[in-house]
């Protein structure tokens, strides 16, 4: 296989390129800091989830997060529910 088949070649020198349109910026502030660095961050979507009653050996708190549970600065967990038909 030729290299040209695997990769796109760069534009010719002096060729004009159409600039990409600016990305839509949404003004959002930084996420609020957790009350405790050692607490699991729980999304408010999980209110009423019986799993929370089983989390006893570590502190947890509700916080606005994309994941259902944030267990470390760079690790999150999503609660998945399966049902049998």
How much is the pLDDT for 73?
Answer: 72
Q: Which residues contact 61 (CB under 8 A, 6 or more apart)?
A: 34, 35, 36, 39, 40, 41, 42
Query: Is residue 7 over pLDDT 70?
Result: no
Q: What pLDDT digit, counting tens, does each position of 29-72 carry? A: 555 555 567 888 999 999 999 989 998 888 999 999 888 888 87
How much is the pLDDT for 66?
Answer: 85
Q: Domains along the chain?
A: 35-85 (3.40.50.10130)
How much is the pLDDT for 69?
Answer: 85
Cα 31 to Cα 39: distance, rounded to the nearest angstrom: 15
Higher pLDDT, 24 or 67: 67
């Amino acid at each position: 296989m030729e290299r040209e088949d695997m990769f796109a070649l760069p534009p010719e020198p002096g060729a004009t390129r159409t600039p990409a349109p600016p990305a839509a910026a949404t003004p959002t502030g930084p996420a609020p800091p957790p009350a405790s660095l050692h607490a699991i961050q729980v999304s408010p979507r999980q209110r009423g989830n019986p799993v929370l009653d089983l989390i006893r050996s570590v502190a947890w708190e509700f916080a606005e997060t994309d994941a259902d549970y944030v267990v470390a600065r760079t690790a999150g967990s999503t609660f998945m529910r399966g049902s049998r038909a």
